[in-house]
Structure 1
Amino acid sequence: MFRVFRRNPERLPGKSVLIVDCNFPRPLHDSGSMDLDALIHSLLRQGCKVSFLALGEYFLPREQRDRNAREEYRAFGVTCLTPGDDVASPGWKGIEEALQQIGPKLDTCIPCRVSCGGAAYDRLRAAFPVARMIFYACDLHFLREERAARLAGDYTALKAVEVTRDNEFAIMRRADATLVVSSYEKNLLRQELPEALVVHLAFPRPSAEGDGWDARRDIGFIGNFGHRPNEDAVRYFLEHVWPDLAVRMPDCRFLIVGAGAPDWLTEWAEKDARLVVLGHVPDLAAVLNSLRITVAPLRYGAGTKGKVLSSLSHGVPCVMTSVAAEGFDFTPQLKELVVADLPQDVVDAIVALYTQASRWQMVVRHGRDLILQNHTPEKLDAAVAQLLRIDAAGR
Structure 2
Amino acid sequence: MKDKQALFIGYVWPEPNSSAAGTRMLQLLQLFQRAGWNVVYGSPAQSSQHAIDLSAIGVEAVPLTLNCSSFDDYIRHLAPDLVMFDRFMMEEQFGWRVESCCPNAVRILDTEDIHSLRHARHLAFREGKPLAREHICNELAKREIAAILRCDLSLVISEFELGWLTQQFQVPGQLLHYSPFMLDEDNEVASNDFAARRHFISIGNFRHAPNWDAVRYLKELWPAIRRQLPDAELHIYGAYPSPKVEQLHNPAQGFLVKGWVDDARGVIAKARVMLAPLRFGAGLKGKLVDAAACGTPAVTSSIGAEGLYGSLPSGLLISDDPDEFVQLAISLYQEEILWQSLSDNSRELIPRRFSLAGHGQPLLNRIEQLCSQLEQERQENFYGAMLRHHTLKSTQYMAQWIEAKNRLQSAGDSSGCL
TM range (shorter): 0.7 to 0.9
1:1-395 matches, within 5 Å, as 13-57=2-46, 65-66=47-48, 69=51, 72-82=53-63, 92-103=68-79, 106-153=80-127, 162-191=138-167, 192-196=169-173, 197-205=175-183, 207-211=187-191, 212-239=193-220, 241-270=221-250, 272-331=252-311, 334=314, 338-391=317-370, 392=374, 393-394=377-378, 395=385
Separation (CA, whole Å) in 2 of partners of 1:295 and 1:95: 44
Distance 1:129 1:332 in 2: 43
Question: Partners in 2 of 1:69 and 1:349 — Cα distance?
Answer: 37
Q: State whether residues 295 and 346 of structure 2, in contact with CA within 8 Å, keep that contact through their aligned partners in structure 1.
A: yes
Structure 1 partner of 2:388: none
Measure the CA separation in 2 of the matches of 1:274 and 1:204.
36
Q: Distance in 2 between matches of 1:318 and 1:160?
A: 29
Contact 1:216 1:292 in 2 (8 A): yes
CA deviations on 1:97-155 (whole Å, 9 max, x unpaired) are 3223312xx22111111223443211122222011111111111111111111111299
Output the CA distance in 2 between the equivalents of 1:143 and 1:159: 9
CA deviation string 1:28-77 (max 9, x = no partner): 111110001111111111111111111225xxxxxxx459847x212322
Distance 2:135 2:120 in 1: 9
Residues in 2 aligned to 1:341 and 1:115: alpha-carbon distance in whole angstroms: 32
Higher relative contact order (CA 8 A, sep 6+): 1
Letter in 2 for 1:194: V
Matched residues in 1 for 2:328 and 2:204: separation? Answer: 21
Q: Which residue of 2 aligns with 1:4?
A: none
User: Which amino acid counterpart does residue 301 of structure 1 have in structure 2?
Assistant: G
CA-CA distance at 1:96 after TM superposition: 2.8
2 CA distance for matches of 1:184 and 1:313? Answer: 22
Structure 2 CA distance for partners of 1:226 and 1:108, relative to 1, 3 Å: same
Report the Cα distance in structure 2 between the residues aligned to 1:73 and 1:31, rounded to whole angstroms: 17
**TM-score, normalized by length of structure 2?**
0.81
Pairwise CA distance, 1:174? 1.9
The separation in 2 between residues aligned to 1:56 and 1:328, in whole angstroms, is: 31
**What is the rounded CA distance, in whole Å, between the counterparts of 1:39 and 1:234 in structure 2?**
30
Residues 255 and 277 of structure 1 are in contact (CA less than 8 Å); yes or no, is this contact kept in structure 2?
Answer: yes
Q: Deviations over 1:288-337 (max 9, x none)?
A: 121001011100001011111111111111111000111113448537x6
Are the structure 2 counterparts of residues 202 and 288 from structure 1 closer, same or farther at C-alpha, using a change threshold of 3 Å?
same
The more displaced of 306-315 and 263-272 is 263-272
Q: Deviations over 1:201-256 (max 9, x none)?
A: 121356443121110100011100010110111111211x2121111111110000
Q: 1:277 to 1:381 in 2, by over 3 A?
A: same
**Residue ranges of structure 2 left out of the alignment (5+ in a row):** 379-384, 386-418
**Identity over the aligned pairs, expressed in percent?**
25
Tell me the matched-pair count: 365
CA contact (8 A) 2:116 2:136 kept: no
Q: What TM-score does the superposition give when structure 1 sets the normalisation length?
A: 0.86
The C-alpha deviation readout for 1:237-282, integer Å capped at 9, x for no partner, is: 211x212111111111000010222333322314644011111100
Q: CA RMSD in A?
A: 2.4
